[in-house]
């Protein structure tokens, strides 16, 4: 009897890095090459952890089309499975999609599979998964060899972190738009953008590791999901609904003809979800979700994510991508990319206080113009409010000081009162030491008149001759010098009455 995953003679498969025969589980000889085969079954030894679920996948350890050796299964769906395979002539690992044999002769499945193979083979953007090979295997099954990616899907990240910072969300959306721009230029519409079709790959460069967003599955849905996972009716239903209702454009939900702007709407939904942690329209019934895409406006971002700080230019760009009518959205992926770039610059300018600079002849998009108007309106209202508050404060301050007598020198006569008052005020700006002030006050005692009442002082300061009688002179008592002039704390730079 062949050994099983639970055979006590084998090391625990969940932790073992040893290679075994996928059929009989016999261990590979020590030091054996990667393509060493089991003598009994002729299968290539695979890592024991690839069999941890105890599955008896008949393709593991086999070689497909004479050049792809299947080492482990990554995932599976209704149309087939995805394997990690070694491409012998090139010495590299690839992600190999294989259509199930019972679906390989289905006309619709074959058309959709060929569509993806042709689409990806035309695209060279670093933000699109790379296709290496495509063809028909010896048993009649179809395969597509894609680059092997390390990382996680956007869906996995959102399930873990719920939402992303707006700068990160704009970066991922912009990288996806680079891929869409090339695809749309080739006449290819993705039609199934969703979190699980955006892959956040770790790329190893001489300068260091970095993360790159890549778009997956042009024309094919439901490839990398486990068979044991529960089926969500909002996921793509192969052969029934092409696309994912939660991320469909209104025209796609209505079955209308599509163009590149349908993908831009779907990406707008993804951007909304990255910023707020939820899609704009959510319901357990797929038909209800599709109806909301057609009829209901998307919720405000601060309503979907209360307390989350999302800049106005970013919100305006999202709302423009989510317009119901395609003609109201950005006309192309390049235009949406430009608008997101300008939204990023405008948002950072608000934080730093520096107005962003756009190239000569480059028009600010309508969404950003509206956001800028809103910011200018808010700034104008705040400025007007500040002016009102300052005016009221000045009025209260003047009224509180109008009751106190204003010191005006009255020793002068007639038309030179104004100059005397000005000279007296100027003299107060340079205070003398206490002893000097007392000595200087004595010779002035006979010249300084007591202050006039407030009404008389104001009349005396008006331009032109004055007929107001002067107050009677009072002589200070002998031997008692007048008190030094008192300074007010708020008259450091002169009075402004």
Q: Catalytic residues, which ones?
A: 192
Answer for the pair 51, 25: CB distance below 8 angstroms, yes or no.
yes
Tell me how far apart the alpha carbons of residues 46 and 27 are, in angstroms, rounded to a whole number. 9
Residue 407 near residue 495 (C-beta atoms within 8 A)? no
**Cα separation values, 274 from 11, 330, 468, Å:** 43, 20, 78
In whole angstroms, give the CA distance from residue 248 to residue 406.
77
Which contacts of 49-55 are long-range, i.e. CB under 8 A and separated by 24 or more positions? 49/13, 49/14, 49/15, 49/16, 49/17, 50/22, 51/5, 51/13, 51/20, 51/22, 51/25, 52/5, 52/13, 52/14, 54/4, 54/5, 54/6
Question: What distance in Å separates the CA atoms of residue 248 and residue 438, rounded to the nearest whole number?
Answer: 90
Residues 81, 99: Cα–Cα separation, whole Å: 7
Closest Cα partner for 145 from 203, 72, 67? Answer: 67
Terminal-to-terminal C-alpha distance of the chain: 108
């Amino acid at each position: 009897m062949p050994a099983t995953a639970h055979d006590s003679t084998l090391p625990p498969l969940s932790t073992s890095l040893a290679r075994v025969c996928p059929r009989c589980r016999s261990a590979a000889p020590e030091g054996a090459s990667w393509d060493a085969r089991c003598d009994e079954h002729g299968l290539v030894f695979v890592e024991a952890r690839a069999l941890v679920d105890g599955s008896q996948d008949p393709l593991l350890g086999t070689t497909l089309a004479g050049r792809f050796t299947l080492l482990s299964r990554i995932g599976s769906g209704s149309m087939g499975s995805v394997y990690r395979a070694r491409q012998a002539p090139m010495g590299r690992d690839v992600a190999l999609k294989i259509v199930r044999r019972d679906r390989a002769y289905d006309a619709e499945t074959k058309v959709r599979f060929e569509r993806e193979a042709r689409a990806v083979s035309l695209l060279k953007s670093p933000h699109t998964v790379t296709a290496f090979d495509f063809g028909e295997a010896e048993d009649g099954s179809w395969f597509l060899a894609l680059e092997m990616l390390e990382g996680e899907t956007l869906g996995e990240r959102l399930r873990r972190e719920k939402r992303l910072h707006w700068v990160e969300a704009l970066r991922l959306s912009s990288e996806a738009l680079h891929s869409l721009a090339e695809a749309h230029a080739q006449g290819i519409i993705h039609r199934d953008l969703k979190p699980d079709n955006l892959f956040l790959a770790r790329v190893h460069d001489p300068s260091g590791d970095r993360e790159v967003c890549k778009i997956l599955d042009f024309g094919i849905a439901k490839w990398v999901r486990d068979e044991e996972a529960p089926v969500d009716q909002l996921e793509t239903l192969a052969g029934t609904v092409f696309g994912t209702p939660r991320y469909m454009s209104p025209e796609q939900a209505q079955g209308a003809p599509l163009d590149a702007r349908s993908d831009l709407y779907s990406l707008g939904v993804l951007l909304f979800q990255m910023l707020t942690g939820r899609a704009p329209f959510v319901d357990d019934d797929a038909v209800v979700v599709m109806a909301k895409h057609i009829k209901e406006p998307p919720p405000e971002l601060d309503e979907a994510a209360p307390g989350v700080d999302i800049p106005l230019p970013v919100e305006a760009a999202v709302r423009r991508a989510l317009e119901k009518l395609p003609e109201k959205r950005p006309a192309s992926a390049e235009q949406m990319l430009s608008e997101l770039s300008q939204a990023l610059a405008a948002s950072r300018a608000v934080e730093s206080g520096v107005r962003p600079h756009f190239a000569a002849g480059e028009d600010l998009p309508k969404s950003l113009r509206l956001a800028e108007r809103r910011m200018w309106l808010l700034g104008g209202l705040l400025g007007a409010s500040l002016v009102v508050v300052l005016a009221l404060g000045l009025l209260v301050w003047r009224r509180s000081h109008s009751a106190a007598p204003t010191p005006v020198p009255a020793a002068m006569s007639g038309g030179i009162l104004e100059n005397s008052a000005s000279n007296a005020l100027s003299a107060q700006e340079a205070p003398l030491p206490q002893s000097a002030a007392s000595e200087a006050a004595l010779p002035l005692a006979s010249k300084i008149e007591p202050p006039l009442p407030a009404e008389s002082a104001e009349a005396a300061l008006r331009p032109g001759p004055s007929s107001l009688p002067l107050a009677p002179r009072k002589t200070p008592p002998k031997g008692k010098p007048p008190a030094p002039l008192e300074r007010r704390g708020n008259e450091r730079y002169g009075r402004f009455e």
